[in-house]
Structure 1
Amino acid sequence: MDSRCFKLKRSWFALAFQLLIFVLLMFVLYQVLALVLWVVCAVAGLVVYQLFYRKSPQIDQFEHLDGREWSITLQQHTQRVMVSHVIDHQIYVVVYFQHAKVRPLLIWCDQLPMQQWKALKVLTKLV
């Protein structure tokens, strides 16, 4: 496989991070709210997660073409985009695009094999 073509898997780190934030928030709310209000907040949080975050479209593949030009594949639909900047946070990488329609791409280290993760980190320093 080309070192500039990245096929993304589902991230377990992202799911664990979201769950951790939700548990911490529920713990704090448990301390300050009555039990009935806390249960309402917990159910509302789970509904919001199910409706908005879990159903959000995921980018299946992205490929570095040339310079700041990349292609992203979303459910068999390929689109060319221009990268404005890339931020490396060691455990994940955030790719920001110039087009307002395309949301920033968050890539966790467990979404790629280790060799491709290292190639992506090198590529982020070049972009």
Structure 2
Amino acid sequence: MDNRCFKLKRSLCALAFQLFIFALLMYLLYQLLPFALWLLCALTGLLVYHLFYRKTPQIEQFEYLDGREWSLTAKAMPTHRVSISHVIDHQAYIVVYFQHAKARPLLIWCDQLSLKQWKALKVLTKLI
């Protein structure tokens, strides 16, 4: 596999992080609210997660083309070319921001790539 083509897997770290934040928030609300209101908040939170956050298109592959040009392939969508404005490395994950204002930032967790690909991506992000 070329060191410029990255195939992403589903991230368990991202799911664990989201579950941890939700559990922490529910614990704090449990301390502050009556049980019926807490249960309503928990169900609303689960509904919002299911309706909005699970429906976002998942990027399956992205490939470095030239300079700041990359190609993205998402599930059930054609491959399209994007231009990156900047990249932030947070050690456990990398956030990729695009120049197009309507494009959402891409969050890449360390468990989505093999260790070799993760290191290659970190090197590429330092070059951008």
Q: What is the TM-score normalised by the length of structure 1?
A: 0.98
Instruction: State how far apart, in whole Å, the 1-side matches of 2:69 and 2:36 are.
Output: 52
Partner of 2:37 in structure 1? 37
Question: What SS does the aligned partner of 1:90 have?
Answer: coil
Instruction: State how far apart, in whole Å, the 1-side matches of 2:63 and 2:4 are.
Output: 6
Partner of 2:88 in structure 1? 87
Question: What SS does the aligned partner of 1:85 have?
Answer: strand
Alignment pair present for 1:117 and 2:118: yes
Deviations 1:54-102 (A, max 9, x none): 1111111101100101110112511111000000000000000001232
Moved more, 29-38 or 72-81: 72-81
Instruction: State how far apart, in whole Å, the 2-side matches of 1:80 and 1:117 are.
Output: 21
Question: What SS does the aligned partner of 2:119 have?
Answer: helix
Q: State the percentage of identical aligned residues.
A: 72
Structure 1: stretches of 5+ with no match in the other structure: none
Alignment pair present for 1:57 and 2:57: yes
Structure 1: which 4+ aligned runs deviate by more than 6 Å? Answer: none
Instruction: State how far apart, in whole Å, the 2-side matches of 1:69 and 1:125 are.
Output: 15
Q: What is the TM-score normalised by the length of structure 2?
A: 0.97
Counterparts in 2 of 1:91-102, with a 5 A limit?
Answer: 91-102=92-103
Q: How many residues align?
A: 127
Moved more, 35-44 or 72-81: 72-81
Question: What SS does the aligned partner of 2:59 have?
Answer: coil
Question: What SS does the aligned partner of 2:10 have?
Answer: coil
Alignment pair present for 1:126 and 2:127: yes
Counterparts in 2 of 1:72-83, with a 5 A limit?
Answer: 72-75=72-75, 76-83=77-84
Q: CA RMSD in A?
A: 0.7
